[in-house]
Chains A and B, each alone.
Chain A
Amino acid sequence: MSAENRGEEILSEAAAVRWEAGPNFHDSLMETIYTDASQVADRAVSRTDEQPRFDLDRTIDRLVTSRWLGFPMMLAILTVVFWLTIEGANLPSGMLATLLIDNIHTTLKAGSAELGIPWWLDGFLLDGVYLAMAWVIAVMLPPMAIFFPIFTLLEDFGYLPRVAFNLDNLFRKSGAHGKQALTMSMGFGCNAAAIVSTRVIDSPRERLIAIVTNNFALCNGRWPTQILVASIFIGGLAPQHMAGLVSAGAVVGIAVLGILLTFVVSWALSNTILKGEASAFSLELPPYRPPRVLQTIYTSIIDRTLIVLWRAVIFAVPAGAVIWLSSNIIVGDASLAEHFINFTHPFGLLLGLNGVILLAYVVAIPANEIVVPTILMLTVLSAKMAGMGEGAGVMFELDSETTTAAIFQAGGWTLLTAVNLMLFSLIHNPCSTTIYTIWKETRSAKWTTISALLPVGMGFVVCFLVAQVWRLLM
């Protein structure tokens, strides 16, 4: 008797017996399990007589999930987190930049000049690879080392499910699954990890919505961009003592815009190509647990900060090499980078950005983390090339100043450029790791393409509209 035959024999017996078992076998089975469970539990559990007079958990829950206070408290908590990050990261970032870029880079350059290393090797290694690494560390390490531990403490405490609880209703109204609030929160850490976490959503339709819109949750790689650009340009508008708070507010604004876009796009998808009803689920609010501060700081620095930084450094090394090469390989009358920048510049201006930013986004497809360092390097390199003709070396000026702001100003940036960079950083294609994860999870070329191109298309439209309105008003 073959395996198939034996299998069929069992299956036909099962079919024959099934109607004997009663019409609602599944329901009766569940009922049996529940009855047994409640009997066993009743015998084992007893309450001590004294009821706690004050239930702290319930009191906190009533506050953070209240209809009126829930959202303001969420925004306030986010603002405080970013304010701490921005204020705290300022000083160490400056110190790292001085050390890595002013001191070590200058020393290395002097050393290589003494050894007589050819200019192209010196340029490739020190101005390309080393500088890219140095920028990544100086720009990213301090904010991450502050932001991640605080965020992890909030997570450990049990705040994220409350955020999900607050947002659940809005997700349901958008025709999406309430658990998407959890996967979105996960996206605030890493979009690729969040795509994997959408497995908690049962319905394929709602899971696809969660996957396509996850990119609107600002990830690790993009927080530093937002924080840096906001503190230089938006914070710069406010009086000194308010600068930190104002820039934190701007970052929160972008994060909230991302959440709004998640709802809008979810709604649009569930009313067009992913039509269907939202399914119900039960969300558990876990008890608050006092966070284990030291352990959390340790694991979040090891697990998140250093891993994200390491990934950024790994991607920055080839990016730095590409940037240096493209700025130094001359074709015709200009370098490759200049050709690209000149070619895309008009288009960039139309979007309220510029050619450098567009090139930076192409170079940074592997990892969002290196957008800002790439922009800085490209601006320095293209400004240096422009400055050399006039005999005024922009690089020398930078050596004495070394503020990121000076580089941006040298690149001809305006407030509009900064605002649109923040917008475009929120609304553009996911990084290559995330795109690959989407492919692995969906196994669908169609949905992978939609997830990659929909956001970048939206980004172009939003930046274009903002630029036009801005120019009309200003």
Chain B
Amino acid sequence: MATETTAEGCEACPAHHAGNLIKLGVNMSNWDYVVALAGNPNTGKSTVFNALTGLRQHTGNWPGKTVVRAEGGFSFGGGRYKLVDLPGTYSLLSTSLDEEVARDFILFGQPDVTVIVVDATRLERNLNLVLQVLEIRDRAVVCLNLMDEAKRHGLQIDDRRLARDLGVPVVPAAARQGEGIPLLIETLAQVATGQVVCKPHRLKNETPAMRKAIDRLVAKIESVYPDLPNIRWVALRLLEGDKRIIEAVRTGELGDLSRGTPGDPGTLSEVTR
């Protein structure tokens, strides 16, 4: 924890946000929180990433530009945040290499907050990914990006309603213009520090047979690994026959997850709360 910051007077006030942001670029040695940046392809993740870190990662207007993850950092309100820009994916259930990078990080990388950048003009399709992330992660913020384009196309989005339905904060933004970024930082900091507690949406339209099967398997996994986060999602993946998760169960890698020493050393060894 960075202790040298003296938080007094207006610096401690949340209204002080913009001036409180220190862009750290890639110069990250130790950090307090890890933030994952997920979203469908071409929704502006890299633009949000650049706005937060001050880096100038090349952004291009086409899907599939980021295939490996980029990392950067910023400091806000005395906390140091490491930001990981993940490749864009439509789902966490697929098999291509770039989607696996995103899936593995969200599951095994144990981010403190997952920011899901969504395209406001294509909300329904983007929500498929949001719902899948919310199955895995409790602490999440939805960044409703491209609001300017939604307006241009005559769309109105009730972000409060959306936040209530999803159970996580929703921040409207137009990242290219820098709109909404200060609020996003403030919100993700509140979620990271536990000031805001999320009650994420869980799937509601399962068939009774599905629900019964899931409950049985969840009980089983719970009896073996009581500390495991997101047991429900692991159960779903096992029922689907996901090879990577089956492998993790078989080798006991899943157990490491509950002890907080997951398998990706470069990014995770220093993550402590």
Provided the pairs A10-B224, A46-B158 are in contact, do residues A52 and B239 lie with their beta carbons within 8 angstroms? no
In chain B between 75 and 132, which residues have their CB closer than 8 angstroms to a CB of chain A? 93-98, 121, 123-125, 127-128, 130-132
Name the one of A26, A29, A161, A202 contacting B63, with C-beta atoms under 8 angstroms. Answer: A161
Q: Measured between C-beta atoms, what is the minimum distance from A348 to chain B in Å?
A: 39
CA distance A48 to B68 in the complex (A): 39
Taking a contact as CB atoms under 8 Å apart, the answer to whether B166 and A40 are in contact is yes
Q: Is the CB of A7 within 8 A of B252?
A: yes
Judging by beta carbons under 8 Å apart, are A33 and B209 in contact?
Answer: no
Does the CB pair B123–A17 fall under 8 Å? Answer: no
**A201 contacts partner chain B, Cβ-Cβ < 8 Å:** yes
Q: Range of interface residues on chain A?
A: 35 or more
Question: For the complex, is A8 an interface residue (Cβ under 8 Å from B)?
Answer: yes
Q: Give me the interface of B with A, judged by CB distance under 8 Å.
A: 41-42, 56, 58-64, 67-68, 93-98, 121, 123-125, 127-128, 130-132, 146, 149, 152-159, 161-162, 165-166, 176, 201, 203-207, 209-210, 212-214, 216-217, 220-221, 224-225, 235-236, 238-241, 246, 249-252, 254-255
Closest 5 CB pairs of A and B: A3-B252, A21-B213, A41-B124, A37-B127, A202-B96
Seen from chain A, the residues whose Cβ lies within 8 Å of a Cβ on chain B are 3-4, 6-11, 13-14, 17-18, 20-22, 25-26, 28-38, 40-48, 50-52, 152, 155-158, 160-161, 164, 179, 182, 196-197, 199-202, 283-284, 286-287, 289, 292, 299, 302-303
Chain B contact residues: over half helix, strand or loop, or mixed?
helix
* A51: B residues at CB distance < 8 A: 154
Per the bound structure, the CA–CA distance linking A196 and B224 in Å amounts to 40
* Complex contact A200–B131 (CB within 8 A): no
Known: A44-B123, A202-B96. 11 other contacts (CB 8 A): A4-B250, A4-B252, A20-B213, A33-B128, A33-B203, A38-B127, A156-B60, A182-B63, A199-B96, A202-B95, A302-B56
In the assembled complex, how far is the CB of residue A161 from the closest CB belonging to chain B, in whole angstroms? 5
Task: Judge whether B127 and A286 touch: CB under 8 Å.
Answer: no
CB-based A-B contact count at 8 angstroms: 194
The reply to whether B67 and A200 form a contact with Cβ atoms under 8 Å apart is yes
User: In whole Å, how far is B106's beta carbon from the nearest beta carbon of chain A?
Assistant: 16
Q: Give chain A residues whose Cβ lies under 8 Å from the Cβ of B93.
A: 26, 30
A17 to B211, CA, bound (A): 11
B62 touches A14 (CB 8 A): no
Q: Identify the closest chain A residue to B150 (Cβ).
A: A45
Q: Which residues of A contact B127 (CB under 8 A)?
A: 36-38, 40-41
B contact residues around A21 at 8 Å (CB): 209-210, 212-214, 239
